[in-house]
C-alpha cells in the first residue's frame, strides 16, 4: 500500500469500508478466493470512480432524452451545458479534480469543439435539436463529452497508480497524436491515413506494459490492450448517446440504428490523442523507481 500522502480519496474510503468485509470473506471463503473477489470488487468501484464525470454526463443525456418537457423554455443542449459546467466546478471545489487536470480538460473541450465545428460542416454528423449556446451547428455542451474521456484517463492514472515498462519516448507519442488530430481534418481533402496511424500507434506502444494497483496487489497488462478496451467502452457510450438523440450520423437520420463498427478505429486513435494530452499533466512513471519515463 502506498504512503498516506499518496493514497487517493477512493482508497481512503475503501480502507474504512472494505477492510471488515475483506476479513469476513477470508473467514468464510478462504484467503485465495477472498483476495480474488475483493480485487474484482475494488476494480469495479475504482473504475466507477474514475468515470464519475463521464457517467454523470451520460446519465444526464439519457434522462433528458426520456423526460425532457417538449415545450421547455430552455433548450436541452443548453441545460446539458449548464449541468456539465456545474459538475466540473463541483469537482474542482470538492477536489475530485485538480486544477492542472481542469486545464487539460479545458484543452480537451477546445480541441473537441474545433473538430466538431469542422466535422458538422462537412456533414459527418449533425446535432438535431435547437440551442442558443453553440458555435455554428455545434452546441457548446459537446466539448464536455471529449472532456469526459480526459477526466476518466487522468483519474485512472491516479487511482490505479499507473507505472510503465518500456514506455516510448514522449516526443513520439506527441507526434503521432498530432498527426491523428490533423488527419481528422485532412482526410476530407487528402488520402485518409488512419490505418497508417493505427500501425504507428501499435509500433511505438508495442512493448509497453502498464502496471496498476487495484487493492492489495499490483497487476499488469499491455498498454495497447488497455487502449482497445477503453475505446470499446467509448464506442458503446456513443451508441447510447446517438440513441438518446444527442447527435446523429447520416444513416441514423430517419431511423436509429447502431453505430457502425467502422467508427471504432476512429475512437481508438482519438483516444490516443486524449492519452497524450493527459500525460502532459501526469507524466508516465517507470515501474522501476517511479522516475518519469523517458522522453
**What is d(CA 288, CA 291) in angstroms, rounded to the nearest whole number?**
8
Is-contact 46 23, C-beta < 8 A?
A: no
42 and 99 inside one domain? no
What's the pLDDT score for residue 101? 79
128 and 246 inside one domain? yes
- For 76-101, how does the pLDDT look when each residue is reduced to its tens digit (9 = 90+)? 999 999 999 999 999 999 888 888 77
32 and 64 inside one domain? no
136 and 186 inside one domain? yes
Average pLDDT, the chain: 90
What's the pLDDT score for residue 293? 55
**What is d(CA 111, CA 88) in angstroms, rounded to the nearest whole number?**
17
Is-contact 230 223, C-beta < 8 A?
A: no
Name the 3-class secondary structure at 295: coil
Q: Is 152 part of any domain?
A: yes
31 and 91 inside one domain? no
DSSP code for 261: G
**What is d(CA 25, CA 217) in angstroms, rounded to the nearest whole number?**
17
Judging by beta carbons within 10 Å of its beta carbon (0-12, 13-18, 19+), is residue 237 exposed, middle or buried? buried
Is-contact 164 209, C-beta < 8 A?
A: yes
30 and 123 inside one domain? no
* Cα–Cα separations (whole angstroms), residue 124 to 33, 128, 134: 49, 13, 18
Q: Is 288 part of any domain?
A: no
10 and 67 inside one domain? no
217/187: higher pLDDT: 187
73 and 205 inside one domain? yes
Residue 169 lies in domain? 52-281
Q: Is 292 part of any domain?
A: no
Q: Is 175 part of any domain?
A: yes
What's the pLDDT score for residue 36? 86
Name the band, by pLDDT with cuts 50, 70 and 90, for residue 4. very low
> 50, 72, 88 — which closes off a domain?
50
Nearest to 204 by CA among 155, 275, 146, 138: 275
133 and 11 inside one domain? no
- Give strand pairing partners of 126: 248
Name the band, by pLDDT with cuts 50, 70 and 90, for residue 3. very low
18/50: higher pLDDT: 50
Name the 3-class secondary structure at 293: coil
* Alpha-carbon dihedral 133, 137, 140, 142, rounded to 10 degrees: 150
Task: Specify whether the backbone of 161 is left (phi greater than 0), alpha (psi in -120 to 50) or beta.
Answer: left
**What is d(CA 168, CA 284) in angstroms, rounded to the nearest whole number?**
10
31 and 151 inside one domain? no
Name the 3-class secondary structure at 176: helix
- For 105-144, how does the pLDDT look when each residue is reduced to its tens digit (9 = 90+)? 888 889 999 999 999 999 999 999 999 999 999 999 999 9
- For 203-261, how does the pLDDT look when each residue is reduced to its tens digit (9 = 90+)? 999 999 999 999 888 999 999 999 999 999 999 999 999 999 999 999 999 999 999 99
Q: Tally the domains of the chain.
A: 2
What's the pLDDT score for residue 5? 38
> 34, 50, 66 — which closes off a domain?
50
117 and 185 inside one domain? yes
Amino acid at each position: 500500500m502506498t504512503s498516506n500522502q499518496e493514497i487517493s480519496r477512493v482508497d481512503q474510503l475503501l480502507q474504512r469500508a472494505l477492510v471488515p468485509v475483506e476479513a469476513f470473506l477470508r473467514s468464510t471463503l478462504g484467503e485465495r478466493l477472498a483476495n480474488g473477489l475483493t480485487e474484482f470488487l475494488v476494480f469495479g468501484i475504482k473504475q466507477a470512480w474514475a468515470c464519475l464525470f463521464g457517467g454523470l454526463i451520460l446519465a444526464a443525456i439519457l434522462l433528458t432524452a426520456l423526460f425532457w418537457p417538449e415545450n421547455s423554455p430552455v433548450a436541452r443542449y443548453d441545460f446539458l451545458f449548464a449541468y456539465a459546467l456545474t459538475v466540473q466546478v463541483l469537482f474542482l471545489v470538492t477536489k475530485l479534480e485538480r486544477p492542472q487536470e481542469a486545464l487539460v480538460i479545458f484543452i480537451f473541450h477546445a480541441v473537441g469543439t474545433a473538430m466538431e465545428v469542422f466535422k458538422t460542416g462537412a456533414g459527418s454528423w449533425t446535432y438535431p435539436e435547437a440551442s442558443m449556446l453553440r458555435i455554428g451547428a455545434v452546441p457548446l455542451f459537446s466539448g464536455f463529452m471529449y472532456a469526459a474521456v480526459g477526466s476518466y484517463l487522468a483519474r485512472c492514472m491516479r487511482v490505479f497508480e499507473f507505472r510503465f515498462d518500456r514506455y516510448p519516448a514522449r516526443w513520439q507519442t506527441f507526434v503521432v497524436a498530432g498527426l491523428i488530430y490533423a488527419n481528422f481534418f485532412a482526410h476530407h481533402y487528402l488520402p485518409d491515413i488512419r490505418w497508417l496511424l493505427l500501425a504507428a500507434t501499435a509500433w511505438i506502444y508495442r512493448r509497453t506494459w502498464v502496471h496498476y494497483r487495484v487493492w492489495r496487489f499490483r497487476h499488469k497488462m499491455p498498454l495497447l490492450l488497455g487502449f482497445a478496451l477503453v475505446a470499446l467502452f467509448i464506442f458503446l457510450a456513443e451508441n447510447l448517446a446517438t440513441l438518446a438523440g444527442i447527435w446523429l450520423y447520416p444513416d441514423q437520420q430517419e431511423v436509429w440504428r447502431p453505430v457502425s463498427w467502422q467508427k471504432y478505429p476512429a475512437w481508438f486513435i482519438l483516444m490516443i490523442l486524449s492519452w497524450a494530452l493527459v500525460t502532459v499533466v501526469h507524466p508516465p512513471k517507470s515501474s522501476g523507481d517511479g522516475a518519469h519515463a523517458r522522453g
